[in-house]
Structure 1
Amino acid sequence: MKKKILFVIPSLTAGGGEKSLVNLLSQIDFSLYEVDLFLFHHEGLFVDFVPKEVRIIPLPESYKTFTLPLISSVRNFLSKGNVSLAWKRVLFSMQSRLGKNVSVREQYSWRYMADALPTLEGKYDAAIGFLEKTATYFCIDKVQAHKTIGWVHIDYNKLGMDATFDRPYFQKVNHIVTVSEECANILIDCFPDVQDKVRVIYNIVSPTVICNMAKKDLADTYLFQSEQIKILSIGRLHYQKGLEFAIEACKILVDKGYNVQWNIIGEGEEREKLTSLIVNKGLENHVKLLGLKANPYPYIQQADIYAQTSRFEGKSIAIDEAKILQKPILVTNFSTAKDQIMDGHNGLIVDMTPQAIAQGIEKLMDKTLRQQLAYNLAKEKLGTEEEIQKLYDII
């Protein structure tokens, strides 16, 4: 008899956690597992990549109403005599504005959102909250499951969350999965009372799939001039990704006379800010914000250098993908950088400043160094498809 598993994630918009889930789902043995997926928003770049065997659970009407704009939502609830949910919708709106940061607002907003979500029907062998915060809270509060698993994709300390809110949820889950040893150590430091529950499962990446997709859609991705130094970054346009460092580093390189083009794949709340910075630095011909790309691999394939200028990461899927395509990689020295890059062997790790990033790019303009890094990457075993077995074991 098949085991029944539920995965929960807010949406499948572009992001490392979202891509990680789609990759994981593609590796599941559906002859052994029946899989449901609960999304708080039925939208996103990766929805079309969900395997056909996975059932996406319809959203309840009460939650659909809750997610309407405030006035429309309140009116709708009141017209149906549901004063309690109308009031909770008001409190949700207030909490969403009052929290000290985005993470804390999401944490405390759950107390009001939860009332709009009935408990799911049926019982699961395992319920997996595949992203921090709401996904895990939902699995504990709204799902009947023999085993519950929370998933943390990031350096917990860097999110600015209220650990006192998460602690009772972490005490209730059976396992807390994270994506690197460093992330696991950070979690254990924050929550020593649940250290026995912490497990490491690396993000699943498939070299075969990535190399095949890198050969597709090439006609649409010839964005570089042949004489330019071609640099690529991938990430949400968000403070975490430090993309203003990339733009300022590009300015340093251009001022030194280098002919570089730095393309950035991703979308997010900092688009306007980053666009203004590009214009203010006079870099319109050197930095391009390309938006979301369902298939980023041809862009990686064409780049001379892949650069990740993040302030913090869990375990970056984009870095793993660039490694698979044997691209010279530059990363900033965020806390988990050494989990993926050996400085000077398969990439460069530099200080988190525009000046250091520019100096690192200058080093990577040496074709001999780039070839050596690519050669070293070619010798590494980079596929992680077997990580799915770790999930089977804890289920």
Structure 2
Amino acid sequence: MPTISEKGLNMPESPIRKLVPYAENAEAEGKFVYYLNIGQPDIKTPEVALNAVKNNTIEVLSYSRSEGSDTYRKKIANYYNYHNIKVDLNDIIVTTGASEAIAFIFGSIMDPDDEVIICEPFYANYIAFATAASVKVKPIISKIEDNFALPSIAEFEKLITNRTKAIMICNPGNPTGYLYSKEEIKQLAAIVKKHDLFLISDEVYREFTYDGYSHHSILELEGMDEHTIMIDSVSKRYSMCGARIGCLVTRNEVIRHTVLKFAQARLSPPTYAQIASEAALSTPQSYFEDIKNEYIERRDTLIAELHKIDGIRVAIPKGAFYCIVELPVIDADHFAQWLLESFSFENETVMVAPASGFYSTKGLGKNQIRIAYVLHKQHLIKAVTILKNALKVYTN
């Protein structure tokens, strides 16, 4: 029998999606499932974006330019300039989701066995894209007891080798909700400049920051144009996960030229999705303020309810809409599956994401889960009530 590749064997399963069959079985048995496992907001997509597609009179659905349409990129540049990120349309390449942006970047700046340093826990698909590109992830551990703050620069120095090409962050973070301070961003800038590396920042949650904290983009840094690459997406900002439109932004002309060759190979990003995304840019700022207030209330509700459970530890998110919760269990993967297969409370159960899939260091995160607080408050309260009762049964 023909064999599959080592790359295929090493490609990790999604910790977010691998339990879906068990959730579907639970629903088939008549249970109601609260989905806390995936960052799919229940916030309505802006009407202006949906109407741009519904009311469009296109007669031939043609290719766009490989780097995305000029009108869309021009409006994205205006959005960034509003947020103090000085770029023009030529600094932007539109991609099929932030996922494709990551794949293009890894393909453009790294050869097989090159290394990228990423703070863990990190978005699980980073390791998938690294595997696809035959790139090695060198994890640097951030800890729940420090609320997942940036590790010391001395720890980064220990990991840098002659194969290191980049440091990568997610800001605000998925799965931790951590928001890097301006000082932490400056520290990262100094080390990448010192070692002539790239600094890659996934900033798809930029609009969601709390408690008076502000987001600081790596593209606001002075003297770093050759080193910085930003990743972005409409998925979370406008609750448009299904649009699959993202972009990468860099002032480094060589990077853009290289990425464009990858973009040309896949022809173009989807036309209708670009039309919707361009229209979404006219969404008023009040939309984001309302959403931010909603997420703050959800976060505070979730944290308050979780603190009522004995034996757990919770990291307090400063941004995005995720938190990591440490449970009094040995194996959170088993617990998460058990919740769907074997447990219900008032004929309801919950689906969570085991956090081990967000670590690449073996053995870490085994007693942790990620919760996405993308449900309204009453559902969050009920979900935590189920979790509390489940832990009593499971730990006994």
Q: TM-score, normalised by structure 1?
A: 0.28
- Max Rg structure: 1
Query: Which one has the bigger helix percentage?
Result: 1
- Larger relative contact order (CA 8 Å, sep ≥ 6): 2
